[in-house]
A and B are shown apart, each in its own frame.
Chain A
Amino acid sequence: MGHVQRHSHWEIAVKRLEGKVALVTGGTSGIGAGTVERLCAEGARVIFTGSNQAAADAVCAATGALFIRHDVTDVSAWDGLMARILEEYGRLDIAFANAGTENGDGSIESIGIEGWNTIIGVNLTGVMLTVQHAMRAMARNPEGPVGSIIVNSSMNAHRAMGNFVAYSVSKTAVLALVKSSAVHSGNRKYKIRVNAVLPGVVETAMIANLIEKSGDPAATRAAYEGLSPMGRMASVDEVAGLVAWLASDETRFCSGSEFTMDGASTAGMNGV
C-alpha cells in the first residue's frame, strides 16, 4: 500500500471535512483507498467497504478509518450496513460510490452473459444501491436532508472502448443515474448534491500490475500514458483531491454535473 503514505505533497492546511461522516465503497485499494486517506486527512470520519481484509487492515492502520465487509451487489446487506453507520455515527454526509469492476468484459461479439451481468451488477446496480441508501440516510440527518454523493464514472463514459463493452455502458449509464438523482433531490427540496467524477487512466496498483504482467511493460506503459495528451496517467491522490473537493461545502452549488479529470484525454477525442 505504497500510496497510503503520500500526505507530503498535498497542500492541506485546513480540514474542510471536520465533523462529516463519509462512506466509500470499494475502499480497500486504488482510488477508493486513496480517497479514504484523503477524506480522513481533511478531518472526516470514514467508513469504507470491500472484501479484501488484509488490504483493508492496512488502510485502517494508515488512516484510522473503519472497515465494514460489504459487497455493493448484496441487496439484503445494505439495510444492515446503513443501520450500523447511523447507529455508530448518527449521520451521513458524504458517499463515494466507487466500487467497480471490468472482470469478464469483452467486445460486443465476445462478452458472455455472466461477465455482462457481473459488471452491470457492480458498476450500475451497485452504484444505484449506493446512491439510494446514501440519499435515504442523508435525508434523515439531524439538521435536515443535506449531503454530497459522488459517483465514480470514467472518461470512458464519453469514450467507449471496443473491448470493454459492459464497462463503457455502465460508466455512461451512471451519468443518467447521477442526473436523475440530483433532479429528484431538488424536487424534494433536499440539500443533497449528486455529482460524477470522470477520471482518465489512473495509475493504481491494478494498472501497475497489468503493465508489469504484459508481454512488453514499456510499450504497455507508453500506451496508457499516451491516452492523455499530458503524456502521463493520473495518480490516485489527484482523483482523491477532486472527490474531497466535491465532498466539501466548497461545492454547495454543484449538483447533477460531470467532473472530468483526464489530462485532456477527452477534450479532443483523438481516438485510442
Chain B
Amino acid sequence: MIDLGSQRLKGRVALVSGGLRGIGLACVERFLAEGAEVVLTDLEAPDTDHAAATLARLGQAASYVQANVAQEDDWAKVLSAVTERHGKLHILVNNAGIDLTGPVAETSLEGWRRIMSINVDGVFLGVRTFVPLMAASGADFRGGASIVNVSSIMGLVGMSEVSGYNASKGAVRLFTKSIALEFAEKKMPIRANSLHPGFVMTPLLQEGFQRWVDKGVAGKAQDLVDLMSSKTPIGRLADPSELASAVFFLASSDSSYMTGSELVVDGGWTAQ
C-alpha cells in the first residue's frame, strides 16, 4: 500500500464537491492525509447519520457545506464559507456528478437537463465562483492553484444508451481545456486538468448496476462487475483511492507544468 503520511499538501486549502462518498470522499481523505485543510460539499444535511458520522471521522481539518452544485446561490454560500474559514483556495475538485442511462428516444428533456445542470453547470459554477480566490492564492505554492474537473472515459469514447452522460462528460473535457488556455495565456497562477476515470467501485456505479439489474439486463450486480472487469485490460474495477492518487498528483507541485491535460485512469479501457 501507498504510504500516505507524507504531508505534501501541508498549508493548502482544498474544496471537493460531492465529497461525502465515492471518488470525492477518497480525495478528501487523501488530501487530509497529505496535510491539507479540506472543505467538502454535498447534498445531505450535515446532521444525517451518514454525514455526521463521516464528518466526525474526517476530523477538525475538514469542514462541510451543504450545497447543490447546480444551484448558483449555493455556490455563493460555499464561497463565503471558504473565505471566512480559510481566506484562500489552492485546490478545487469539481467531482459531484450523476449518471443517466437509457435509449435516446426515451430520454426525457427533464432528465437531460438535470444531468447537464449537475455535471456541466455544476463544474462551470464551481470554476466561475472560485477563480478570483484561486488566482489570489496561486502564488503560495510552486505550480499555483489547481482545478481538477472530474470527467470520465465516457467523456472520451461513446457508449450505447449513455448519450446524456457522454454529452455531459465530453463537455467537461473541452471546458477544462479552454479554461486551462485562458489562465495560462493570462499568466494566472491556476492550472486546470480533467480526470477520466474508468469503472470505479463507488455507490454511483453500484446503484447504476442495480438499475440495469432491475431492468432485467443482468441477473445480479456482481455479474455486471465481473463483465466490466473482464473487459478491462487490468482485469478489475478501480478502487476510489486509485483516482484520489491521480487527483493528488494534479493538486501537488509535482504537476506544476501540467495544464490542459487529460488524466486517464481506466485500467487500459480506452487503449484497446
Q: Which residues of A contact B (CB under 8 A)?
A: 9-14, 16, 178-179, 182-183, 185-187, 189, 191, 193, 200, 228-231, 234-235, 238-239, 241-242, 244-245, 248-264, 266-268
Say which residue of B245, B258, B271 sits within 8 Å of A250 (CB atoms). B245
B219 at the interface (CB under 8 A from A): no
* Complex CA distance for A204 and B253, rounded to whole angstroms: 20
Question: Is A14 a contact partner of B257 (Cβ separation < 8 A)?
Answer: no
Given A253-B238, A255-B233, A255-B267, A267:B257 Cβ within 8 A: no
With A187-B233, A250-B245 as given contacts, are A262 and B261 in contact (CB-CB < 8 Å)? yes
CA distance A230 to B143 in the complex (A): 11
| B-chain residues with CB within 8 Å of residue A187 when the two chains form the complex | 233
Residue of B nearest to A265 (CB): B260
Task: Tell me whether B2 is interfacial, beta carbon within 8 Å.
Answer: yes
Q: Are A241 and B7 in contact (CB under 8 A)?
A: no
Q: List 6 A-B contacts (CB under 8 A).
A: A231-B187, A239-B257, A251-B242, A255-B267, A267-B177, A267-B261
Asked whether A11 and B265 contact (CB < 8 A) given A264-B180, A267-B177, the answer is no
Whole-angstrom distance between the Cβ of A15 and the nearest chain B Cβ:
8
Give the shortest distance, in Å, between A37 (CB) and chain B (any CB): 14
Contact A253 B249 (CB under 8 A): no
> Is the pair B254, A268 in contact by a Cβ cutoff of 8 Å?
no
Q: Are A16 and B181 in contact (CB under 8 A)?
A: no
Contact B255 A268 (CB under 8 A): no
Contacts of B2 in A (CB 8 A): 16, 248-250
Q: Would you call A264 and B184 a contact (CB within 8 A)?
A: yes
Q: Are B257 and A238 in contact (CB under 8 A)?
A: yes
Partner of B180, one of A13, A244, A261, A267: A267
Q: Is there a chain A Cβ closer than 8 Å to B8's Cβ?
A: yes
Task: Report the count of interface residues on B (CB-CB < 8 A).
Answer: 48
Asked whether, in the complex, the Cβ of A229 is within 8 Å of the Cβ of B184, the reply is yes
In the complex, A136→B8 CA distance in Å? 35
In contact, A256 and B272 (Cβ under 8 angstroms): yes
Partner of A11, one of B232, B246, B252, B271: B252
- Inter-chain contact A182/B268, CB cutoff 8 Å: yes
Complex Cα gap A191–B267 (Å): 10
- Judge whether A14 and B3 touch: CB under 8 Å: yes
List, in ascending order, chain B residues with CB within 8 A of A191's CB. 234
A interface footprint on B212-253 (CB within 8 Å = 1, 0 otherwise):
000000000000000000001111001100110110110011
Q: Mark B169-203, 1 if CB is under 8 A from A, else 0.
A: 00000000110110011010000000000100000
**Are B184 and A256 in contact, with the CB atoms below 8 A?**
no
> What B residues does A183 contact at CB under 8 A?
233, 268, 271-272
**B198 cross-chain contacts in A, Cβ below 8 A:** 253
With contact pairs A11-B252, A238-B256, A241-B255 given, residues A259 and B7 touching in the complex (Cβ less than 8 Å): no
Residues of B within 8 A of A244 (CB): 254
Contacts of A16 in B (CB 8 A): 2-3
Given contacts A14-B6, A186-B234, A238-B256, contact A259 B263 (CB under 8 A): yes
A242 touching B258, Cβ below 8 Å: yes
Say yes or no for B211: interface residue by CB 8 A criterion: no
A268 CA to B178 CA, complexed, in Å: 8
In the assembly, what is the distance between CA of A193 and CA of B235, in Å? 12
Q: Return chain A residues, CB-CB under 8 Å to B272.
A: 179, 183, 186, 256
Does B270 lie at the interface of the complex (its beta carbon under 8 Å from any beta carbon of A)? Answer: yes
Contacts of A13 in B (CB 8 A): 6-8
Could you tell me the distance between the alpha carbons of A104 and B134 in the complex, rounded to whole angstroms? 46
Which one, B177, B232, B268, B271, contacts A268 given CB within 8 A?
A: B177
Q: How far is the CA of A254 from the CA of B262 in the complex (A)?
A: 13
Taking a contact as CB atoms under 8 Å apart, the answer to whether B268 and A186 are in contact is: yes
Q: Find chain B residues with CB under 8 A from A11 CB.
A: 8, 252-254
Contact of A251 among B233, B245, B257 (CB under 8 A): B245
The chain B residue with its CB closest to the CB of A9 is B142
Q: Which B residues touch A230, using CB under 8 A?
A: 184, 257, 259
- Give the distance in Å from the alpha carbon of A252 to the alpha carbon of B240 in the complex: 12
Bound Cα distance A92, B203 (Å): 37
Whether B5 is near chain A, meaning CB under 8 Å from some CB there, is yes
Chain A residues within 8 Å of B264, by CB: 254, 257-258
> In the complex, A191 Cα to B209 Cα: how many Å?
26
- B37 an interface residue at 8 Å Cβ cutoff? no
| Residue B266 interfacial (CB < 8 Å) | yes
In whole angstroms, what is the CA distance A14 to B1 when docked? 13
Q: Contacts A186-B268, A267-B181 given: A255-B263 contact, CB under 8 Å? A: no
Q: Give the chain A neighbours of B253 by CB distance below 8 A.
A: 9-11
Closest 3 CB pairs of A and B: A256-B271, A186-B233, A267-B260
Are B242 and A252 within 8 A (Cβ)? yes
- CB B243 to nearest CB in A, in angstroms, measures 8
Alpha-carbon gap, A13 to B265, bound state (A): 25
- Give the contacting residue for B271; candidates A179, A242, A262; CB below 8 A: A179
